[in-house]
Structure 1
Amino acid sequence: MPFAARVPPRLAFVPFRASAAIADGILTRAMLRGSAWQRLLPDVYVHQDALLAPDHRLWCDAVALLLPPGAAIAGPSAAYLWGVDLLARDAAVSVLLPRAARLRPHPRLSVTRSHLPEGDLTGFAGLPVTTPLRTAFDLGRQAPRAEALVAVDALLHRRIVRLPALRAYADARRRWPGLPLLREVLALAEPLSESPMETRLRLLLLDAGLPPPTPQHDVLDARGRFVGRVDLAWPVLRVAVEYDGDHHRERAHFRQDVARLNALRAAGWIVLRFTADDVLRHRDRTVRLVTAALRERADERNLRALTDPR
């Protein structure tokens, strides 16, 4: 029966530079060729147990070992470290390099070269990362527009950055690439937006020319009692729009939704609910439904105004 490989405690869970481990006498090249160790990047290895549930943080740890001085983890990878997950599955690690720095290309790396002042660079659990402001600034300048707004909304909602501070930061960098897009994103940004799909739904309705909705509106009944909170609302018309994610399909959540929707209906509200399929694939139909509800309520208000003897 073969013996299990000895795993030095300091190398059990995190990536490491093979050359450093060999130089320190912790491992040998022969040991690294065994099945216990997996190569992630050139000269960067990890113990096989760490790959049982690999996440983006593991890859950030690995990439950070190869970064030249003055470089940083940036973009969606930095947002991930700051607590906002905008990443696609198996996304490469986003890295910001000073223009003169060198880093060997790799499929697990997404490299952007840009000016990176010392004030835009900080540390996160030992990793070099762009500051929250620089992270939001960079993501808000990257097309497509909807994804830029999703990123900025998410960072604002988690209070990782504040909108006035981000506006001031952008105003101090007027000549940077992508500023027209960022200004548009900042004009649309909404810290109360609770999910990427909620942001996309709101942007869809705004782009269709509908009046700006009130986000996260608390609905009260005729006696002033709280009925429920809706994602997007036109309170004067008592029309609400909500995005339904997968969690709404859970039995307990579904029952709560039914009771809440019945209470909203009793309070005189029209509530339209949409899924990701509605927002991403049936955009015109979604806009038509919301437009019809708003017009219906506007017509009702006009009729009441004409027939009200007061």
Structure 2
Amino acid sequence: MARNAKIPRELSFEPFSGSRAVAAGLITRRMLHGPSWRRLLHDVYVHADSYDADDHRMWCLAVAARLPASAAIYGLSAAYLWGVDLLPHRRPGRAVVPVQVAVRPAARPEPHLMIKYTNLVLDPEHDVTSLSGMPVTTGVRTAFDLGRAPSRADALIALDAMLRRRTLTKTQLTAYIDHHPRRRNVTQLRELVMLSDPLSASPMESRLRLLLHDAGLPKPTPQYEVRTPDPTGGVKFIARVDLAYPQWKIAIEYEGDHHRERAAFRRDVHRFNALRSAGWLALRFTADDVLRQHGQLVQTVRQAIAERAS
């Protein structure tokens, strides 16, 4: 008999509880120890063809199969399940990112390298929901937790991404904050909610907006569409820019590595020439500017505003 004929469809794609599968008659205990299956956690297995050490969702499903009733997936893992990938990128030799789990302080869960436990009391009615059968913090609670991170930049990046994904609204998050006013770093969260914007298209754009805010500069408009009148009386689209000060016709662009590709470079040349022809000043910054030369970056923007406003 072909090997695939012995694999029940219910067990072919996602992690499952070995004891439950055996009790249901889907597989035998002996078969679980064969080459077709990979053991992920105690009593949790996945089909060998579906195993991927870097698949965070696979690990979330595996962990969810072992969670106590009061626990839930939260933090960056919850955001990932909501469609917001803020997990650190794995490099060769770097450990796989563990699943973040919130458990009650009195809980004594089984330790595992792929699980990072945090003592946290969650309201099962308002803080936890079910995604693909997994207990996960709600979009609002996930944003509430990530928006209070020690790094203000990471916190704003998370808020922008959660809002962009439409897992919550500012109104919902503000209401939740009002009901939990004494939690750690809630003052920071209130400030960042006001600054957050679902139009911010990337983590670096979020960092750039925070730099400008902290320097006391005016708030720029994300993803602004530059348009000019055309000879027929209509409006001509020129470009969409990362950040803009429309009142001074200043565009601020973050240049990622993809801009080094030949096709992207040619498009950029055309865009910036078109912006210049329309009377716009385009300021271009790289990751090095944002992360290490931010003093010079701020000075460049400040000077451009001063020149254009005079």
Counterpart CA distance in 1 for 2:108 and 2:193 is 33
Q: Trace 1:61-140 onto structure 2 (pairs within 5 A).
A: 61-88=61-88, 89=90, 90-117=96-123, 118-140=125-147
C-alpha contact 1:71 1:128 (8 A) present in aligned 2: yes
Letter of the aligned partner of 2:205 in structure 1? Answer: E
Q: Distance in 2 between matches of 1:32 and 1:86?
A: 34
CA distance in 2, matches of 1:177, 1:285: 33
How far, CA to CA, are the matches of 2:56 and 2:135 in structure 1?
A: 15
**Larger displacement relative to structure 2 (122-131 or 93-102):** 93-102
Amino acid in structure 2 at the alignment position of 1:23: A
**CA offsets per residue over residues 114-139 of structure 1, 9 Å max, x none?**
22112221111111111111111111
TM-score, normalised to structure 1's length?
0.88
Amino acid at match of 2:47: H
1:262-285 residue CA offsets vs partner (Å, 9 max, x unmatched):
110001111112222321233233
Q: Which residue of 2 aligns with 1:147?
A: 154
Q: CA deviation at 1:185?
A: 1.6
CA deviation profile, 1:66-123 (whole Å, cap 9, x unmatched): 1111221111111111111111133211112233333212121122222211222111
Distance 2:158 2:130 in 1: 21
Deviations 1:165-221 (A, max 9, x none): 211111111122221221122132122211111101111222223222122222233
Q: Which runs of 5+ in 1 are unaligned?
A: 302-310
Q: Which moved more, 1:31-40 or 1:170-179?
A: 31-40
Where in structure 2 are there 5+ consecutive unaligned residues?
91-95
How many residues matched?
298
What is residue 205 of structure 1 aligned with on the other side? Answer: 212
Specify the alignment match of 1:259 in structure 2: 270
Q: 2:189 corresponds to which residue?
A: 182
- Aligned amino acid, residue 138 of structure 1: D
Q: Cα RMSD between the aligned structures?
A: 2.2
Tell me which residue corresponds to 2:280.
Answer: 269
1: CA distance, partners of 2:307 / 2:229 = 21
How many angstroms does 1:59 deviate by?
Answer: 0.8
Describe the shift of the 1:91–1:53 C-alpha distance in structure 2 as closer, same or farther (beyond 3 A): closer
Shift of 1:291: 2.6
Asked if structure 2 preserves the Cα contact closer than 8 Å seen for 1:222 and 1:267, the reply is no
Residues 42-57 of structure 1 correspond to what in structure 2 (within 5 A)?
42-52=42-52, 54-57=54-57
CA contact (8 A) 1:15 1:46 kept: yes
> What is the aligned partner in structure 1 of residue 27 from structure 2?
27
The whole-number CA distance in structure 1 between the counterparts of 2:292 and 2:48 is 41
Aligned counterparts of 1:35 and 1:292: Cα–Cα separation in 2: 65
C-alpha contact 1:68 1:102 (8 A) present in aligned 2: no
Letter in 1 for 2:24: D
CA distance in 1, matches of 2:216, 2:181: 29
> Aligned to 2:172, what secondary structure does the other structure show?
helix
Following the alignment from structure 2 to structure 1, what is the Cα–Cα distance between the partners of residues 72 and 52?
27
Deviation at 1:222, TM superposition (A): 5.6
